[in-house]
Structures are given as structure tokens and as C-alpha cells.
A and B are shown apart, each in its own frame.
Chain A
Amino acid sequence: NAGVMQNPRHLVRRRGQEARLRCSPMKGHSHVYWYRQLPEEGLKFMVYLQKENIIDESGMPKERFSAEFPKEGPSILRIQQVVRGDSAAYFCASSPGLAGPRRTDTQYFGPGTRLTVL
């Protein structure tokens, strides 16, 4: 059973370009989460999606960032008009959605995409 897949692993963009980060969840997982890790910091939650729905985007910057998880294909985190401050590692996690009420699903993380903005 393949783990969470993310691509590309490394992405270099110039200021003002767009960055697209892809995440394929583990087989059988229908819940996807995106986190951002700035240098020397822990991960910060960005967004939680299920198929075709954004459930919680409380951690997403209000501008330039968007996420989707279509019915078919990977989840995409899109950053428009990147700036140097967007340079970070972006991690995707997935979970099966089996924890039930009042329980937190265990999240399994991908290897991350390291975005560098020149």
C-alpha cells in the first residue's frame, strides 16, 4: 500500500509565478490536509478537504492560496503570484475518516514539497 505521494519534491519559482503542489492520498483515504512548515518551525495547519469539498480552511492565507480535491485525481494546493515569504516545505497528509465522532483521525504524511521562491 503506497503511502501519501507528493510531487514535485522540490519546486523553484520566481516571484510572481504560480506554484502548483500535488498530493495523492493513501489508497482508501478520502480526507486530505495541507500543512506548511517554515524554516526552524513546526507545521502549521492550512486546509482540510474531502472529495470535492473544503471542510476547514481556517489556516489558509486569505489571498493567493487555494486548494482543491476533485472527484478524480490528486489534491492541488495552488499559490498564485508567489513571494519570497512563501518559501517553505508544504506537507500533505491523508486519513481514512474512520475515527468517528469525538475522535481525531490519524493523519499520515507525505514527504513534502520544498518550495523555493527566488
Chain B
Amino acid sequence: AQSVTQLDSHVSVSEGTPVLLRCNYSSSYSPSLFWYVQHPNKGLQLLLKYTSAATLVKGINGFEAEFKKSETSFHLTKPSAHMSDAAEYFCVVSEEGANNLFFGTGTRLTVIP
């Protein structure tokens, strides 16, 4: 069975410093992995997705994530945080070919001016 663990419920960084949001997953040999962002009272926006192509995935707004099969991780990073990055971030896994997504519990990112 698939599952997602987001190791930090809340991360706080200063503007201009790097962002690291951690995610570990449990799934089949070939999972699909996603990061979505949710701004307050808004819907979810897809940041990036991994589907067994390159292990380093580049997304929108300068975010990227690296799929590490040996560590079953898919951590999200950004070199320099911007105030507009403050939001809730969800790591999501789906089994190979499945259509229902399994969400982590989310990490709230706070950016300090």
C-alpha cells in the first residue's frame, strides 16, 4: 500500500535562504510523485511531478525535487525563499497507473522577512 510521510508539519525560513521540505514515501517499484502547493483559501497548484524519467525534477517558481529510490525520498528544495512562497505544501504519491492520489499531511512554510 502506498503512503506518504512529510517529516515536518511546519518549516520556517528567512527570505533569501534555502528551502527544504522533506517527504518519504512507500509505494510500488514505479510510483508517480508530485508536489502541490496550497495558498490560503485557494485550490492546489501543481509544482512538479516525477514519473520515472529524470530523477531531478524541475518545477515552477524555482522549485525542484530529487527522486531517491534508495532512500524512498522526494524532498522539495528551492535555493532562495521568497515571501510569496509562504503556503502549505503537499507531497503526493500514486501507484503506477492508478488514478487516486495519496496526500501527505502537509508542511506549512513560513517565510520571515
Q: Which residues of A contact B (CB under 8 A)?
A: 4, 6, 31, 33, 35, 40-45, 48, 55-56, 58-59, 91, 95, 101-112
Contact = CB atoms under 8 A, between A and B. Distances in A.
Contacts of A42: 4, 90, 103-106
Contacts of A31: 99
A75 B96 CA distance: 26
Given A35-B101, A103-B97, A109-B36, 8 more contacts: A42-B105, A43-B90, A45-B102, A104-B94, A104-B95, A104-B97, A104-B98, A109-B45
Contacts of A106: 34, 46, 49
Which of B42, B43, B49, B103 gathers most chain A CB within 10 Å? Answer: B43
A108 B4 CA distance: 20
A43 B34 CA distance: 13
Interface of B: 4, 30, 32, 34, 36, 42-46, 49, 51, 90, 94-106
A2 to B, nearest CB: 13
Which of A6, A48, A59, A104 gathers most chain B CB within 10 Å? Answer: A104
Contact of A48 (B90, B97, B100, B104): B100
Given A42-B106, A109-B36, A104 B99 contact: yes
B100 A56 contact: yes
A43 B100 contact: no
Nearest to B44: A109
A33 B99 contact: yes
Nearest to A3: B43
Contact of A33 (B4, B42, B97, B100): B100
Contact of A109 (B4, B43, B51, B95): B43
A96 to B, nearest CB: 12
Contacts of A91: 43-44
Nearest to B94: A104
B112 to A, nearest CB: 22
